[in-house]
Amino acid sequence: MAVEDKYISYRIYLVAFAIFLMAIAIAVKLTNIQWVEGDYYRKLAKERTVKNFVIPANKGNIYSADGSLLATSIPNYEIRFDAVAPKAEAFEKNVKSLSDSLASVLGKPSNFFENELRKARANKNRYYLVARKLSYTQYSKIKGFPLFNLGAYKGGIIIEQETVREHPIGKIAERTVGYERTTESGSFDGKGIEWAFRKYLNGKDGKILKQKIAKGQWKPIRDINEVEPQDGYDVISTIDVYVQDIAHHALLKQLELYEADHGCVVVMETKTGHVKAISNLGRANDGTYYETTNYAVAESHEPGSTYKLAGLMALLEDKKADTSTVYDSKGGEITYFGKKVRDSHKGGYGKISLARGFELSSNTVLVQAVYNAYKNESSKFVSHLNNFGLNKTLGLSIKGEGVPYIPQPSDKNWSNISLPWMAFGYGVHITPLQTLAFYNAVANDGEMVKPQFVSEIKEWNKTIKKYEKEVLNPRICSPETISKLQAVLANVVKKGTGSKLYSKDFSMAGKTGTAQVNYGKSGRSGMYYASSFVGYFPADKPMYSCIVVVHRPNTANNDFYGAGVAGPVFKRIAQKIFTDAPSTNEIKNLDRKIQKQERNYDSYFVKSEKKLQLIPNVKGMSGMDAVALLENLGVKVRAIGFGKVKKQSLAAGQNIVKNTTILLELS
């Protein structure tokens, strides 16, 4: 019995010793947690219950050259209710008046809100949704309502803000205005002005401290932010909304008429390189057209006859030929190394001068002229093209510029037909905007300027950065050559392939182009036509240059040439700008139509033009921006008060009627 008691005593001692060791270990661990690792665990606990959230800064606005809003940031607010936060006395005292106030703003009955708020309190709901997608004016009102005006902890109001990017004038130049987005992988990407000038537009994000109140739900700790967001700067683009509207709808009508696959148009100010209008439209499966790809900037392809200007420029510069040099068009067909070069006019043009061959876009004449002059020194011809800048990108501010291509004699793919084919625009690649810059240099007396989409960066009325004219080449060729090129380009419209576009009421100069794209291929991806017209106006004192390119027009009526497909778009733009631009001190009636011009145009272009006809939603916008937007749409505006627009007398979406007046109530 004594032995057994002694054995039990040993076990008790052993257990007691083990407990003692455990107590020491726990004490050591607690001491370690408290004093050694305490900062780490306290930080971890805080991060899991309290953390900073980013408040995105409001992006700056993008304006057109005439002050119209092209893109702006509209804040949207979401109001939620922590039903546990208010004391019972405060809740009962204010719930009825809060419900009445919410009903006046949100348009639902007062008893609906009262029932919902009481239900949320009974269920201890700490994240009840009151309203979302609120304007700043609505948010400001609700924040001051009974109970909510006590703040986050005493009143239970939870405010969340989201910034939405809007294009107030719709789809106009949408692809060039662009966007910035987050990809599925979490990286950032974008297009157009939004992406290229994001460092100015984006501003600096703020921070707000929030506390975790439930799984996945966070509530602001204070009514003020830890770091206030700083708004981005405004970007002033070179786009002119009026010119853009003309160009967009002129292109759209012609694409619809010819059931074309896609097309683009660019209008540029000759002296400065400012792009006043750019439209890129592609055909959807349902037959409608929309902006999806910036074809003018990105699409590098064989241009066809518009490239003949480069060959003519080289010939005149080297004095290998003059505009009066006569060539035999060889019955409209000539063969080089087993490959035939044909004129569009069956039978050719007989013996004609080089200038006349260019005006009539004779492939046989231009190819003969270039090949005869440079067949033994092809590198000299290619050097001219390189010196003209046709082998280099323009270095545009917006990304995605297509890369031009000119075969070099040292390339392994250079062949016997490379030189003659280049003479009429094949075997080379160039984008529409690069072609336009080249023609614009001829219009600008030899000075090649870089196309620009942005003229200025501003903070309110303060200029942060100004983009001056950028000269790519001060003299692309001699003044003598320029003078001769200007003459033949004017004659293309007067008596050449563009003669259907001629009007004695205003002058134009330019070149037609009809290229076979993907020749040698079959199926949907096979050969099709790209019709183009590029030039400038007025011909004697150029103010604007313009290019129009239409891809895959319907060839059912055998009408797929540049003069008939792309030319009318060019003329419509030139006609409208020329008609409405005052050339004297006399004040014109801008609504007056010049009947001669209208009659001349009707024969080859669908005579109608859509305008911006709908009242936009300006609620939440600053009064200054709202007034500018509406007045640019032809609406008379009366504004009452200061700040942001909280009410507008005409509902968004209704048609604009001439001389309509809209009343804006500002907060």
Helix (H), strand (E) at residue 32: none
Q: How high is the pLDDT of residue 30? A: 73
Is residue 228 predicted with pLDDT exceeding 90? no
Handedness of CA 322, 326, 331, 333 (dihedral sign): negative
Contacts of 297 (CB under 8 A, 6+ apart): 396, 398, 400, 401, 402, 431, 433
Q: How high is the pLDDT of residue 600? A: 42
Q: How high is the pLDDT of residue 588? A: 37
Strands (E), 450-579: 454-459, 462-466, 471-473, 509-517, 528-537, 544-551
Give me the phi and psi of 606, to 5 degrees please.
Answer: -65, 125
Q: How high is the pLDDT of residue 36? A: 64
Dihedral angle, C-alpha 176, 181, 183, 187, nearest 10 °:
110
Q: What is the mean pLDDT of residues 481-504?
A: 95
Distance CA 408, CA 477 (A): 21
Distance CA 650, CA 654 (A): 8
Scan for tokens 């106006």, then name that residue. 537
155 to each of 19, 81, 82, 519, 531, how far by Cα in Å?
51, 8, 8, 72, 67
Q: What is the mean pLDDT of residues 188-193?
A: 88
What is the number of other CB atoms lying within 10 angstroms of the CB of residue 521? Answer: 11
Strand partners, 55: 206
Q: Are 223 and 50 in contact (CB under 8 A)?
A: no
Q: How high is the pLDDT of residue 102? A: 94
Q: Are 442 and 436 in contact (CB under 8 A)?
A: no
Handedness of CA 158, 161, 162, 164 (dihedral sign): positive
What's the mean per-residue pLDDT of the chain?
85
Distance CA 651, CA 662 (A): 10
Is residue 523 predicted with pLDDT exceeding 70? no
3-state helix/strand/coil string of 147-199: CHHHHHHHHCEEEEEEEEEECCCCCCCHHHHCEEEECCCCCEEEEHHHHHCHH
Distance CA 158, CA 160 (A): 7
Among 207-211, 291-295, 579-583, the least confident range: 579-583
Q: Are 51 and 208 in contact (CB under 8 A)?
A: no
Give me the phi and psi of 639, to 5 degrees please.
Answer: -115, 135
Q: Are 517 and 560 in contact (CB under 8 A)?
A: no
Q: How high is the pLDDT of residue 626? A: 76
- Residue of 336, 348, 335, 408 lying closest to 378 (CA atoms): 408
* DSSP state for residue 286 in the 8-state scheme: T
Is residue 606 predicted with pLDDT exceeding 60? no
Distance CA 304, CA 301 (A): 9
66 to each of 71, 376, 623, how far by Cα in Å?
14, 53, 17
- Residue of 470, 497, 634 lying closest to 566 (CA atoms): 497
Pull the structure tokens for residue 408: 């070099």
Band of the pLDDT at 136, cuts 50, 70, 90? confident
pTM (2 decimals)?
Answer: 0.73
Q: How far is CA 508 from the centre of its chain?
A: 29
Q: How high is the pLDDT of residue 602? A: 44
Q: What tens digit of pLDDT does each residue of 382-429 get?
A: 999 999 999 999 999 999 999 999 999 999 989 999 999 999 999 999
Helix (H), strand (E) at residue 6: helix 2-31
Is residue 3 predicted with pLDDT exceeding 90? no
Is residue 216 predicted with pLDDT exceeding 80? no
Q: Are 251 and 265 in contact (CB under 8 A)?
A: yes
How much of the chain is helix, strand and coil, in % rounded to 5? Answer: 35, 25, 35
Contacts of 83 (CB under 8 A, 6+ apart): 117, 120, 121, 123, 124, 125, 126, 128, 156
Per the model's pLDDT, the better-predicted residue between 19 and 124 turns out to be 124
Q: How far is CA 478 from the centre of its chain?
A: 37
Per the model's pLDDT, the better-predicted residue between 49 and 498 turns out to be 498
Q: What tens digit of pLDDT does each residue of 235-254 get?
A: 999 999 999 999 999 999 99
